[in-house]
Amino acid sequence: MEAAGPPAVILNAERERSVLRGHPWVFSGAVGRVAGEPASGETVRVATAAGEVLGLGAYSPRSQIRVRLWTREPTRAIDAAFFHERVRAAIARRRALLDAAALPACRLVHGEADGLPGVVADRYADVVVLQLTSAGAERWRDAIADALAAETGCAGIYERSDAEVREIEGLAPRTGAIRGTLAGAMAEIVEHGIRYRVDVAHGQKTGFYLDQRDNRARVRALARGCDVLNAFCYTGGFSLAALAGGARSVLSLDSSAAALALARENLALNALDASRAEWAEADVFAHLRGLRDAGRTFDLVVLDPPKFAPTAAHAARAARAYKDINLLAFRLLRPGGLLVTFSCSGGVTADLFQKIVASAAVDAGAEAQLLARLAAAPDHPVMLAFPEGEYLKGLILKKL
């Protein structure tokens, strides 16, 4: 007879190893049976075939990730107080980790790394943008929002639960203000002395790429006297950083007219020379080929494309796209020029990304040195036992 308590997910024999090693997910293939009839997002016990309870997690009947663990303490109550404690601890870690100037624009909660799978919360000045992407996070939506409101004191919390992954969980998209007030769709932040307007209601992800904070500072330090090409520029983060660093010129490419319009607004907010900035709305792949054919060259190229491979199943197709843009970048670089290239695809490992870029250099007939490896800013931590959380990887390369 099953022990009293929440429904239970019983693992197949010898399929508990990854959980015991600290991984927070239980895949459907590891599940032997389900005791009870848990609803989507409901708390379940995770137990070995021998009956040892390994922890408590959120059940997701529609997803290949059948359970996401909340805790490894079998007797822990999963209630509003639990989520408040987790949110409080996550914010305290940011206060200890970041300098005071970064705190008004940082990631407050980063999913599994903060013990809250499927929960992302980003702060933009007096607004917190909340994104919930798992069945468990959706079930505890109100408790999480209440905790964020209490712990930040921000004027408003805006939900951006519109990521495609919600469909896998059987969840409809949801957006809109859920706590407090939001004076318009825009927030304004300051990063390394540069002002940016952030479209929290309609922008990519939660409105801005906070994970690139430190990498924008790296580009700023490299840009003095350079002709810079920023491909997939979005709202101008790397572009403004390069201009602030003393770039001679910056050509910024993006396919989104709305993103480029906001990029121009961001430029106007700052005391930067607009005559050194050129913006082009274009298919980036086609425009890079056009620049190559026109004989344009640059001292510094930044490639920060969107996610080409959300899972490992998409890696082969993504590899072709990454190779194409990096090959073009090497051909557009002057001798001695620098390429700062990124992948935010969880399905492409850091090792595979480096191999793709190396292959692109060979096909471009370029020799290159690897100067540095880049990652997300520290408010986007990675659990040691959860390498899938290390989605952003970057390289700084010098063309010889």
For the chain, what are the domain ranges? Answer: 8-71, 80-187, 209-399
Q: Angle between the 237-244 and 257-269 helix axes, to the nearest 10 degrees?
A: 30
Q: Is the pLDDT of residue 58 over 90?
A: yes
Structure tokens at 100: 């005071």
The CATH code of domain 80-187 reads 3.30.750.80
CA neighbours closer than 13 Å in the CB half-sphere of residue 118 = 32
| Dihedrals phi, psi of 149, to nearest 5 degrees | -65, -45
Query: Residue 375's pLDDT is what?
Result: 97
Q: For residue range 357-375, what is the model confidence (pLDDT) as tens digits? A: 999 999 999 999 999 999 9
pTM here is: 0.95
Structure tokens at 213: 């904070």
Any residues with CB less than 8 A from the CB of 75 and at least 6 apart, and which?
none
Q: For residue range 22-37, what is the model confidence (pLDDT) as tens digits? A: 999 999 999 999 999 9
Q: Is the pLDDT of residue 343 over 70?
A: yes
Q: Are 109 and 129 within 8 A, CB to CB?
A: no
Average pLDDT for residues 62-90, to the nearest whole number? 97
H helices within 230-373, ranges in order? 237-244, 257-269, 284-293, 315-332, 350-363
Structure tokens at 333: 């670089």
- How far apart, in whole angstroms, are the C-alpha atoms of residue 252 and residue 228? 8
Q: For residue range 158-195, what is the model confidence (pLDDT) as tens digits? A: 999 999 999 999 999 999 999 998 877 899 999 999 99
Counted residue by residue, the chain has a size of: 400
What is the pLDDT of the chain when averaged over all its residues?
Answer: 95
Q: Angle between the 350-363 and 315-332 helix axes, to the nearest 10 degrees?
A: 50
- How far apart, in whole angstroms, are the C-alpha atoms of residue 207 and residue 130? 11
Query: Residue 310's pLDDT is what?
Result: 66
Average pLDDT for residues 65-72, to the nearest whole number? 98
Q: Is the pLDDT of residue 383 over 60?
A: yes
Please tell me which residue in 106, 154, 233, 344 is annotated as part of the active site: 344
Q: For residue range 211-233, what is the model confidence (pLDDT) as tens digits? A: 999 999 999 999 999 999 999 99
Structure tokens at 206: 């939660």
- How far apart, in whole angstroms, are the C-alpha atoms of residue 379 and residue 109? 8
Query: Residue 80's pLDDT is what?
Result: 98
The CATH code of domain 8-71 reads 2.30.130.10
The closest alpha carbon to 228, from 303, 154, 121, belongs to 303
Query: Pairing state of beta strands 277-281 and 333-343?
Result: unpaired
Cα-based distances in Å from 175 to 51, 142, 152: 41, 14, 20
| Dihedrals phi, psi of 100, to nearest 5 degrees | -60, -30
153 CB neighbour count, 10 Å cutoff: 9
Q: Is the pLDDT of residue 3 over 60?
A: no
163 CB neighbour count, 10 Å cutoff: 18
- How far apart, in whole angstroms, are the C-alpha atoms of residue 63 and residue 355? 31
Q: Is the pLDDT of residue 1 over 90?
A: no
pLDDT band at 338 (very low <50, low <70, confident <90, very high): very high
Query: Residue 309's pLDDT is what?
Result: 63
Any residues with CB less than 8 A from the CB of 331 and at least 6 apart, and which?
292, 364, 366
Structure tokens at 313: 């199943």
Specify whether 233 is catalytic: no
| Residue 212 DSSP symbol | G
The closest alpha carbon to 237, from 325, 291, 304, 282, belongs to 304
> Could you tell me the fold of the domain covering 209-399?
Rossmann fold (3.40.50)
Q: Is the pLDDT of residue 4 over 70?
A: no
Q: For residue range 274-326, what is the model confidence (pLDDT) as tens digits? A: 999 999 999 999 999 999 999 999 999 999 998 886 666 677 778 899 999 99
Q: For residue range 134-149, what is the model confidence (pLDDT) as tens digits? A: 999 999 999 999 999 9
Can you list the positions of beta strands (E) in 51-100?
53-59, 65-71
Q: For residue range 78-120, what is the model confidence (pLDDT) as tens digits? A: 999 999 999 999 999 999 999 999 999 999 999 999 999 999 9
N-term to C-term CA, the chain: 69
Cα-based distances in Å from 87 to 52, 145, 206, 340: 29, 10, 18, 34
- How far apart, in whole angstroms, are the C-alpha atoms of residue 81 and residue 147? 9
